[in-house]
Amino acid sequence: MDSIELELDAQFFDADVIARTAYRYSGDFYVLVRSASPNHVVTLRPRTPEVDMADLAARFQTDACDDRLRAHVALQTGDLQRLLMRAALESAEPKGDGRL
Amino acid sequence: MKFQPASAFVGAPSSYQLLPLRFRRLPWDSARVFVSSAAGDWLTCRHEELMSLLKGELPIDSALMQDLQARHIVAGPLDSLTLAPLLSQLRTRKGYLDGGPALHIVVVSLRCHHSCSYCQVSRQDTLQRQFDMREALNAKLVERLFQWPSPTLTIEFQGGEPLLHFEQVKALTELIQSRNRTEGRALRFVIASTLHGVTDAQLDFFGQHRFELSTSLDGPAWLHNANRPMPSRDSYERTIAGIGRARQVLGHDSVSALTTLTAKSLTAPEAIIEEYRLQGFHSISLRPLSPYGFARKTAHRIGYTTRDFLVFYRKALDAIIQLNADGYALEETHASLLLTQLLTPFSHGYVDLRSPMGAGVGTVVYDYDGRVYPSDEARMLAAQGEDRFCLGTLDQSVHEWLTSPAMQELQAGGVAEALPGCSDCAYVPLCGSDPVDHFARQGDVIGHRPSSDFCTKQMGLFDLLLERMEQSSSTERRILEGWAIGARQIAPILEPVH
């Protein structure tokens, strides 16, 4: 089965963003990611012949852009998210020495 | 007198604060996104509107901004008052964590008269009484049960076939009731049984203690008898007779039913639904196969992919909605649970939709031999020889169970918000984690989300319900909203019948 190779601008996309996007594709594809400045190079090879290859490069690029947005949101709200979760779960923690 | 222009009454523009949010492009319209808050409030909007929001350019007086603020996705200039409702909503959403496990499953016997190809447990022949729970365990079991602090306790008896060891069901129920005179908990009893040969005396006992009866009905006779074979080849007829007797004594709504789906079942969504209508049921649970016990051995013959299940489910849901629109009330219970998540702020605590996980935190299973598990799936794995999730035995305290190596391992995969692939999923505030299922299917409690059947199923169902609601007529939408409101009452009895 043919693989495809994508190049993504390393100035625009953090390596962590590309790793997250690549992870989403790792169910249907064998994924190889390497850094070759000035680009990240991603190789996707389908695991089975049934995998949908249509518009694969465009899909990956779009998902990478969305993951970049998610990273932007996480940067702005990550601390708040952790604070809220900790506060919400506090009430469920065992009291005293943890014995019920 | 001259009024100031409207702009004079609006605060400083571009003054808003993003709150934690997640988003997902709609699979049926990639120009739009589903955006959710940390507490699971959500809306849909155009992707370009989301971009504008994230850049800080969304007008503060726009209708979308008001919607986003109402759903705790955006706040005005950051202050603690604005965060209090979000925290309150998050606590409400995770309210199932208060009080510890409420569902307690007691396996009174592994004996069963069926030989179902999809059986999830190691069923035993009806003569093998060494697989019955011994009465000597009763006192300890009741002691442990009341060590949990939950103000409500659901005790579900299952097997094998629990009616084959009815004396144990009776003895335990009476002991629990007796102890509860001083404990004052709200008790709920459920029995998961084929109801074959249920006697009047047994039904009287169930009526006396207000049992809810849960049985298996896989569809019309040809399908039910194929899925649930007996030497006498009349499982369907016996099930229908049992349902009839129970209804006669305890009332029409005393029995609920589940259908387990084999590959053969996937060919007949309309026939299954029609059977439930004919038998007068008003709820149906379309349950896919699980990778445990005999189902694992026969997967090549009776199994199917999760994508096949989702294709079936779409057809079945359409048929059920049409039936409702035609005037017969029938709800699909898993859809109801997901719709409750989507359309209400409340938690129902269904095990697949909890984060932290339901295993051991929401459910405890007491096996016939006195061993204790955090979920029925963990018990099934032990029956297959993998007992790493055994919490301990009835000789140990619940504190020892909670601090066991099994619970420590499960906790590593037990919080969905912290799992790779889930942490930035827009459905995660409404979804849950299932480390036992991921271990069973993928050999790891954390699991690999892109190839996870659990994830494919949950996301597929959320997508399907959202799409269906968006494209529904007002009548159809009212039907789905009705399921959401009723769903909170059915969650605890959605356990399999073996």
**DSSP for B102-120?**
-EEEEE-B-B-S---TT--
Residues of chain A contacting B90 with CB distance shorter than 8 Å? 84-85, 87-88
- The chain A residue lying nearest B148, using CA atoms, is A100
Does the beta carbon of B448 lie under 8 angstroms from any beta carbon of chain A?
yes
Alpha-helix runs per DSSP H in A13-55 = 15-25
Confirm or reject CATH 1.10.3470 for domain A4-90, answering yes or no.
no
Which residues, 6 or more positions from B226, have their beta carbon under 8 angstroms from its beta carbon?
B262, B264
What pLDDT does A73 receive? 95
Does the beta carbon of B18 lie under 8 angstroms from any beta carbon of chain A?
yes
Question: Nearest Cβ partner of A84 from B38, B50, B98?
Answer: B38
Position B495 confidence tier, pLDDT thresholds 50, 70, 90: very low
A93: pLDDT strictly greater than 50 = yes
B493: pLDDT strictly greater than 60 = no
Domain ranges within chain B, ordered by starting residue: 15-73+86-93
Does the beta carbon of B29 lie under 8 angstroms from any beta carbon of chain A?
no
Domain ranges within chain A, ordered by starting residue: 4-90
- What's the CA gap between B128 and B110, in Å, rounded? 9
Residues of chain B contacting A74 with CB distance shorter than 8 Å? 424
Q: Which amino acid is at B2?
A: K
Does the beta carbon of A20 lie under 8 angstroms from any beta carbon of chain B?
yes
Instruction: Take residue B1 and report the two structure tokens written for it.
Output: 């007198």
Q: How far is CA B17 from CA A47, B21, B89, B392, B421, in A?
A: 43, 12, 18, 48, 26
Least Cα distance to B42 among B58, B19, B15, B59 occurs for: B19
Which residues, 6 or more positions from B454, have their beta carbon under 8 angstroms from its beta carbon?
B352, B434, B437, B438, B441, B447
A34: pLDDT strictly greater than 70 = yes
Residues of chain A contacting B38 with CB distance shorter than 8 Å? 81, 84-85
Is A27 in contact with B448 (CB distance < 8 Å)?
A: yes
CA B191 to chain A, closest CA, distance in angstroms equals 27
| pLDDT per residue as tens digits for the range B135-172 | 999 999 999 999 999 999 999 999 889 999 999 999 99
- Say what the pTM is: 0.91
Q: How, if at all, do strands B29-37 and B21-26 pair?
A: antiparallel
- Among A residues 30-59, those touching chain B with beta carbons less than 8 Å apart: none
- Residue B231: Cβ within 10 Å count: 8
> CA-based Rg of chain A, rounded to a whole angstrom?
19
- The chain B residue lying nearest A26, using CA atoms, is B450
**Which of B397, B399, B411 to probe the A interface (max A CBs under 10 A)?**
B399
Alpha-helix runs per DSSP H in B326-375 = 333-343
| pLDDT per residue as tens digits for the range B234-254 | 999 999 999 999 999 999 999
Between chain A and chain B, the number of residue pairs with CB atoms below 8 A apart is 83
- What's the CA gap between B42 and B37, in Å, rounded? 6
- The chain A residue lying nearest B455, using CA atoms, is A27
A95: pLDDT strictly greater than 90 = no
**Dihedrals phi, psi of B43, to nearest 5 degrees:** -155, 170
- The chain A residue lying nearest B86, using CA atoms, is A84
Angle among Cα B483, B489, B493 to the nearest 5 degrees reads 110
Q: Which residue is it, tokens 């809810």?
A: B212
Instruction: Take residue B411 and report the two structure tokens written for it.
Output: 């906790």
What pLDDT does B113 receive? 80
pLDDT, average across residues B326-344:
96
E strand or H helix at B471: helix B453-471
β-bridge mates for residue B21, sequence order: B37
Q: Given an 8 Å threshold on Cβ–Cβ distance, is B86 in contact with A26?
A: no
- What's the CA gap between B422 and B322, in Å, rounded? 34
The verdict on whether omega for the bond into residue B160 sits within 30 degrees of 0, i.e. cis, is: yes
| pLDDT per residue as tens digits for the range B439-469 | 999 999 999 999 999 999 999 999 999 999 9
pLDDT, average across residues B161-188:
97
Least Cα distance to B336 among B315, B326, B325, B350 occurs for: B350
Q: How far is CA A87 from CA A83, B94, B425, in A?
A: 6, 12, 21
Question: Nearest Cβ partner of A89 from B19, B94, B420?
Answer: B94
Is A57 in contact with B63 (CB distance < 8 Å)?
A: no
B415: pLDDT strictly greater than 80 = yes
- What's the CA gap between B436 and B443, in Å, rounded? 9
Q: Given an 8 Å threshold on Cβ–Cβ distance, is B86 in contact with A66?
A: no
Is B162 in contact with B109 (CB distance < 8 Å)?
A: yes
Q: Is A75 exposed, middle or buried (0-12, 13-18, 19+ CB in 10 A)?
A: exposed
Residues of chain B contacting A72 with CB distance shorter than 8 Å? 54
A53: pLDDT strictly greater than 60 = yes
Q: Given an 8 Å threshold on Cβ–Cβ distance, is A74 in contact with B399?
A: no
- What's the CA gap between B72 and A39, in Å, rounded? 38
Q: How far is CA B58 from CA B14, B17, B63, B68, in A?
A: 7, 11, 10, 11
Instruction: Take residue B264 and report the two structure tokens written for it.
Output: 């053969």
Does the beta carbon of B53 lie under 8 angstroms from any beta carbon of chain A?
no
- What's the CA gap between B194 and B112, in Å, rounded? 10
- What's the CA gap between B125 and B131, in Å, rounded? 9
Question: Nearest Cβ partner of A91 from B86, B91, B100?
Answer: B91
CA B40 to chain A, closest CA, distance in angstroms equals 13
Instruction: Take residue B186 and report the two structure tokens written for it.
Output: 């709200």
Is A91 in contact with B98 (CB distance < 8 Å)?
A: yes
| pLDDT per residue as tens digits for the range B50-84 | 999 999 999 999 999 999 999 999 997 655 556 88
Count, residues in chain A: 100
CA A46 to chain B, closest CA, distance in angstroms equals 13
Least Cα distance to A19 among A41, A4, A52 occurs for: A41
Q: Given an 8 Å threshold on Cβ–Cβ distance, is B22 in contact with A80?
A: no
Q: Given an 8 Å threshold on Cβ–Cβ distance, is A28 in contact with B148?
A: no
Q: Which amino acid is at B152?
A: T
Residues of chain B contacting A99 with CB distance shorter than 8 Å? 397, 399
Is B433 in contact with B356 (CB distance < 8 Å)?
A: yes
- What's the CA gap between B95 and B93, in Å, rounded? 6
The verdict on whether omega for the bond into residue A38 sits within 30 degrees of 0, i.e. cis, is: yes
Does the beta carbon of B421 lie under 8 angstroms from any beta carbon of chain A?
yes
- Would you give the DSSP letter of residue B466? H
**Which of A29, A80, A90 to probe the B interface (max B CBs under 10 A)?**
A80
